Amino acid sequence: MPSPDSHPNPSQVATGTAATGTTGTPAPRVIAVASGKGGVGKTSVSINLAAALVNAGQRTLLLDTDLGLANVDVMLGLSPRFTLADVFAGRCELRDTVLEGPNGLMIVPAASGKRHMTELTPQQHVGLVHAFSELDVPIDTMVVDNAAGIADGVLTFCQAAQDVVVVVCDEPASVTDAYALIKVLSRERGVTRVQVLANQVQHAVEGRQLFEKLERVTSRFLDVTLSYLGAIPRDEWLRRAIQRQESVVDAFPSAPAALAFRDIARRSRQWQSPAAPRGHVEFFIERILGQASANSPRSAAA
Ligand SMILES: Nc1ncnc2c1ncn2[C@@H]1O[C@H](COP(=O)(O)OP(=O)(O)O)[C@@H](O)[C@H]1O
Ligand SMILES: [Mg+2]
């Protein structure tokens, strides 16, 4: 059972006032972006949400946990000198992996090689906690771009985040895979709230219909609350932005997708305040560790 303090009730929602940690720095909000199915737009959503948050004055770190080809650094035209793999190998410090993206967006690139972050040894996990603790960079929001599927790593990142955004598009496999992801998050990981974002919609009504389709089945079978975050239109400008290796938010600020991302970023700031005790991202890694060792719902690590 999730503990009450890991899921503050909606009356605790305070616009723009995050919980303050022991350091006096507000605890960062962590938003995990996932989908079940690949190719629906997780990386596009992560990059553009992060870009819109940065442009709204939020200190934002984008953590890439997907080892796929079209990853964050490629989409933004950045060339990482180091990744997390180099941190573990002792070749550099975590701060050396942080890339500076557009307008000061911070990016931690996915570790190269075969391992996911959550498949590291316990010692490497501890090393990562220390590395994040030493990363003396104040952060308001961390956006975590996940791999497709429902592998343990994806579930763990979603479980550790305060907010999970599940991206869906109008394809039968997208909706069934989103349901499969939400089901396992709910039943095995104690996640009780999921934000649904419809992507690549042709009309606004299509997004709402997708949400309702998912809602009908989850409300019948699962103990999880879905909220409709909105829809991102299928937008040729977004594809052009990818070709230019930029976010659409920065490359074409008046494009329909850019407007939609800005609106979602604005609303995301009104979600619940994080209930974490610290002012830096180490708490997120600690939650992951707590979950990995206890292998129990998020209450164990809260
Ligand atoms: N809103 C959109 N409008 C148009 N094309 C999109 C949109 N979202 C995603 N795409 C296209 O889909 C492709 C896959 O998106 P991506 O973000 O890499 O998905 P994922 O990370 O889920 O695999 C992108 O390269 C882009 O061409
Ligand atoms: Mg991706």
Question: Residue 248 burial (CB < 10 Å; 0-12/13-18/19+)?
Answer: buried
Q: Which amino acid is at 223?
A: D
Backbone Cα Rg of the chain = 18
Q: Is the CB of residue 249 below 6 angstroms from any atom belonging to ligand 1? A: no
Pick from 182, 122, 187, 165: nearest CA to 261: 165
Of the listed ligands, the closest to the CA of 169 is 1
Atom of ligand 1 nearest to the CA of 40: 22
State the pLDDT at residue 12.
26
CA separation for the pair 11, 120 (Å, rounded): 38
State the pLDDT at residue 147.
86
Structure tokens of 146?
């996940």
Query: Are the CB atoms for 62 and 145 separated by under 8 Å?
Result: yes
Instruction: Please give all residues whose CB falls under 5 A of ion ligand 2, grouped by chain where several chains appear.
Output: 42-43
Alpha carbon of 25 to those of 21, 29, 164, 288: distances in Å?
6, 12, 23, 21
Find the 67 Cα to ligand 2 centroid distance in Å: 9
Q: Hey, where are the domains in the chain?
A: 26-290
Q: Is the CB of residue 245 below 6 angstroms from any atom belonging to ligand 1? A: no
Q: Is the CB of residue 150 below 6 angstroms from any atom belonging to ligand 1? A: no
State the pLDDT at residue 300.
36
State the pLDDT at residue 227.
95
Query: Are the CB atoms for 183 and 221 separated by under 8 Å?
Result: yes
Atom of ligand 1 nearest to the CA of 199: 1
Pick from 282, 287, 289, 288: nearest CA to 132: 282
Mutate to test the pocket of ligand 1, among 37, 40, 43, 44 (most ligand atoms within 8 A of CB): 44
State the pLDDT at residue 121.
60
Q: Is the CB of residue 238 below 6 angstroms from any atom belonging to ligand 1? A: yes
Q: Is the CB of residue 149 below 6 angstroms from any atom belonging to ligand 1? A: no
Find the 68 Cα to ligand 2 centroid distance in Å: 7
Q: Which residue shows structure tokens 């303050």?
A: 20
* CATH architecture under which domain 26-290 falls: 3-Layer(aba) Sandwich (3.40)
Query: Are the CB atoms for 102 and 247 separated by under 8 Å?
Result: yes
Q: Which residue shows structure tokens 């699962």?
A: 222
State the pLDDT at residue 140.
87
Q: Is the CB of residue 40 below 6 angstroms from any atom belonging to ligand 1? A: yes
CA separation for the pair 254, 248 (Å, rounded): 9
Low pLDDT (below 70) residues in the chain: 1-27, 67-70, 84-85, 88, 111-135, 272-302
State the pLDDT at residue 90.
77
Of the listed ligands, the closest to the CA of 167 is 1
CA separation for the pair 122, 301 (Å, rounded): 16
Find the 291 Cα to ligand 2 centroid distance in Å: 24
Of the listed ligands, the closest to the CA of 66 is 2
State the pLDDT at residue 17.
36
Mutate to test the pocket of ligand 1, among 239, 245, 249 (most ligand atoms within 8 A of CB): 239
Q: Is the CB of residue 242 below 6 angstroms from any atom belonging to ligand 1? A: yes
CA 227-60-257 angle, 5° bins: 55
